[in-house]
Structure 1
Amino acid sequence: MAYVPAPGYQPTYNPTLPYNKPIPGGLRVGMSVYIQGVAGEHMKRFSVNFVAGPHAGADIALHFNPRFDGWDKVVFNSQQGGKWGSEEKKRSMPFRKGAAFELVFMVLAEHYKVVVNGNPFYQFGHRLPLQMVTHLQVDGDLELQSINFIGGNPPPGQGPGYTHQQPSQLPISGKTMEGPPIFNPPVPFRKNLQGGLTARRTIIIKGSISPMGKSFVINFMVGSSGDLALHINPRLTEGLVVRNSYLNGSWGSEDKKISFNPFGPGQFFDLSIRCGLDRFKVYANGQHLFDFSHRLLAFQNVDVLEIKGDITLSYVQV
C-alpha cells in the first residue's frame, strides 16, 4: 500500500548520508525545512548546507555546523566563489549526543530562522539570493529519520512559533485541504475540520513525546454528538497503540495489532492519516502502521480533530 503524501508536503524518510538532493520547486520565502534525526553517540560535528547546485564547490547560501569540540558551538557561514565568508557563532549547543532532535529552517524574507526542538535558536541573514539555492546537503555524525520540505509563500507571519491562520485551499486528488499548516500549536489541541472528513483527505501530525510520557490520544470526532470515528491511543508504558471507536455512548472493540511501534518516550513522530472510502490508512514516518475500517459509515460527519496527552506538537495540517 503506497504512502501518499499530502499536497505541499514533500517528505523523504530514512535518507542515507551524505544527503545531497534537490529542493522541490527550489527554495522560496515561506518554505520550512524539517530535519528529524538522532545525534551520534560520539558526535563531533555535522552540517546542513543550502547550496546553489549539486556539484562540489558550489556556492553555499547557508552553512549550519554544530561542533562538539570542547568549546561547544554552532557555526553559521556562507561560501561564494570557493571562499568562506565571515563566521557567525552561537556558543550554545541545542543538540545532545545520542538524543533525537527536530531541526527546522524557516525561510523568511530577510533571514533563515532556525528552530531546534521547538525553540527559536538563531537568525542568519541572507547573503545569497534565495533563487540561487537548488539543493540541500546534510552530512556528519548523525542518523537521519526524515527530511520534509513544507509549503512556500504562506501568509506573512507563518512559521514555527506562530499559530495564526488564514484560509487557503490546497488541491488533493480533486478534493481540498484546509490550510495553511499550524506550527507549534499548544496541547490539548482542537481544530474544526472545515467541510467534514471527505474521502482522500489527509491529516499530517508531527510532534514529540515527552521524556516521561505515558500516553496520548488523537480523536476524529463528530462535534455535535461526541462520537469518535477513530480514537488512536499510544500507551507508552504498555508498548501498545490502541485504536477504537466511540459510538452512541459505547466503546467498540479495540484494535492493537501493529507491525512496528514508532512511539517512545522522548521520540519524534510523523503521522499521516488518510481517510479512504472504507477505512482510515495511517502511516508513521512514511511506513504503513495500520488500517482502521470505518465503523461510523457517515464519516463525513466527522468535523473535529482533537489531540491531547503527553506530547508536544510541532506541525499539524488538516
Structure 2
Amino acid sequence: MLRVEMHEKKMPFTGPLLGGLQEGKTVVVIGRILATAGRFHVNLQCGSESNADIALHFNPRYDGLATVVLNTLQNSNWGSEERKSDSFLLQNQPFILQILVTKETYKISVNGKYFMDYKHRIPFTRVDTIVVEKLMDLDFIGYQNPVGVPYKAVINGGLQPENDIVVYGVPNPDSKMMEFNLRHRYGVAFHYKSLFEENVVVCNTFENGKWGAEERSGALPFKKDQLFQVTISCNKEQFTVWVNGQQAHTYKHRYAKLEDIDVFEFYGDMQLFFVKI
C-alpha cells in the first residue's frame, strides 16, 4: 500500500516515519540543492531528540571536491566515515534521493541511479524519524512502497481546476515512449504521449468510440535517463503541461466536464518515483 506524507518547505525539517522502518520500503526525499549550499544532510534517526542515535547520516558536501559522507552516531559517538566523491547531487538542480531498506543494508539511489549500499550499524527497526537540514528547498518527503509502471489512480471527486497533478520520474536509457491519460467513464479527455525516436509529443482525445485529430509538436521536453518533474494543471479552457518548471504544452478542452474526469494513468519505459494527485 502506498503511504506518503506531504510536508511544507520549511527547513530544517524533522518528521516521523509512520510505523518505523520496514524491510522492502523506501524513504524518498525530493528537493533542490541551493547554489550557495556548502553541505546538507539527511538523517534516519532513533527518535527526534537532539541526542538521538542516527542510524544513517547522509551528508553531501560541496566545500571542496564534491563528496558524500555517510556515518552512524551511536551513544553520542560517531563511527568511521564512508566517503564517495562521485556525487550525482548537483547544486541548483532538482534531485530525488531514495533509500531502500533491506535486511542487511540501506540501498541508496539518486535520480534513479544506484549510488551505494550502507550496512546497518544500528537495527533499522529502531528508526522512526527523518531529519533534513541545511541549504536546500524541500518539495516532498515520503515513506512508501515502490511506485510501479503502469500507474493508475482514482481522482476523488473528479478533476478540479485548482488541483495540479505532479509526477516525478526518469525515462529509461532505451525509452521509446511515455504517456499519460486523464480519463472519464466514457473515454479519454486528455491523452499526452512522448515519442522519443520521433522527438515529438502527441496530444489527443478519445470519445464516442474513436480518437480525434492528433495535435503534434516537436522539441520533446524529456531526456532519456534524466530526472523530470511534470505538472499537469487545468482551467476552464485548457490543460497546461509544465516540465521541470517550464511550460511545455497546452491543450484546449474537447471534453469540458472536468468533474467527470476521475482517473489518471501513466505508462511507459521509465522509473516512476512519485505521483501527487
TM norm structure 2: 0.67
Show the counterpart of 1:207.
Answer: 169
What does residue 281 of structure 1 align with? none
Structure 1: distance between partners of 2:27 and 2:272: 12
> Where do 1:242-261 residues align within 5 Å?
245-247=205-207, 248-251=209-212
Aligned mates of 1:16, 1:134 — CA distance in 2: 20
Matches within 5 A, 1:102-121: 102-121=96-115
Matched residue, 2:69: 75
Query: Within 2, Cα distance between the matches of 1:16 and 1:71?
Result: 28
Contact 1:95 1:101 in 2 (8 A): yes
Kindly report which structure 2 residues correspond to 1:91-110, keeping only aligned pairs within 5 A, or say none: 91-110=85-104
Match of 2:260 among 294, 297, 314: 294
The alpha-carbon deviation at position 251 of structure 1 amounts to: 2.9
- CA distance in 1 between partners of 2:12 and 2:257 (Å): 34
SS of residue in 1 equivalent to 2:86 = coil
Q: 1-side partners of 2:19 and 2:212: how far apart?
A: 46
Residues in 1 aligned to 2:144 and 2:52: alpha-carbon distance in whole angstroms: 24
SS in 1 for 2:38: coil
Cα RMSD of the aligned pairs, angstroms, is: 4.2
Identity %: 27
Instruction: After the TM superposition, list the runs of 4 or more consecutive aligned residues in structure 1 that deviate by more than 6 angstroms.
Output: 201-204, 263-267
- 1:283 alignment counterpart: none
Q: How many residues align structurally?
A: 229
Give the direction of change, closer, same or farther, for the CA distance of 1:269–1:73 in structure 2 (3 Å limit). same
Q: In the aligned structure 2, how far is the partner of 1:93 from the partner of 1:291? A: 47
Residue 233 of structure 1: how far off its partner (Å): 3.3
Task: Give the conservation status (yes or no) of the 8 Å contact 2:41–2:58.
Answer: yes
Inter-partner Cα distance in structure 2 for 1:316 and 1:145: 11
The answer on whether the counterparts of 2:157 and 2:259 sit within 8 Å (CA) in structure 1 is no
Task: Quote how far apart the aligned CAs of 1:219 are.
Answer: 2.3
Q: Which residue of 2 aligns with 1:239?
A: none
Distance 2:106 2:192 in 1: 36
For 1:147, the aligned partner's letter is I
Q: For the structure 1 residues 29 and 201, does the alpha-carbon distance in structure 2 shift closer, same or farther, using more than 3 Å as the test?
A: farther
Q: How much does 1:268 deviate?
A: 4.0
Distance 2:143 2:230 in 1: 13
- Aligned residues of 2:46 and 2:52 also touching (Cα < 8 A): yes
Residue 175 of structure 1 is matched in structure 2 by none
Q: Which amino acid aligns with 1:44?
A: G
Inter-CA distance 65–201: structure 2 relative to 1 (3 Å threshold)? farther
Counterpart of 1:38 in 2: which secondary structure?
strand
Report SS of the residue matched to 1:293: helix
Distance across 1 between alignment mates of 2:73 and 2:97: 22
Give 5+ residue unaligned stretches, structure 2: 159-164, 195-201, 216-220, 233-255
Deviations 1:138-194 (A, max 9, x none): 01111101111103xxxxxxx5xxxxxxxxxxxxxxxxxxxxx42xx5xxxx57x7x
Contact conserved, 1:220 with 1:306, CA < 8 A, in 2? Answer: no
The Cα of 1:100 is off from its aligned counterpart by 0.6
What is the CA distance between 1:312 and its match in structure 2? Answer: 4.5
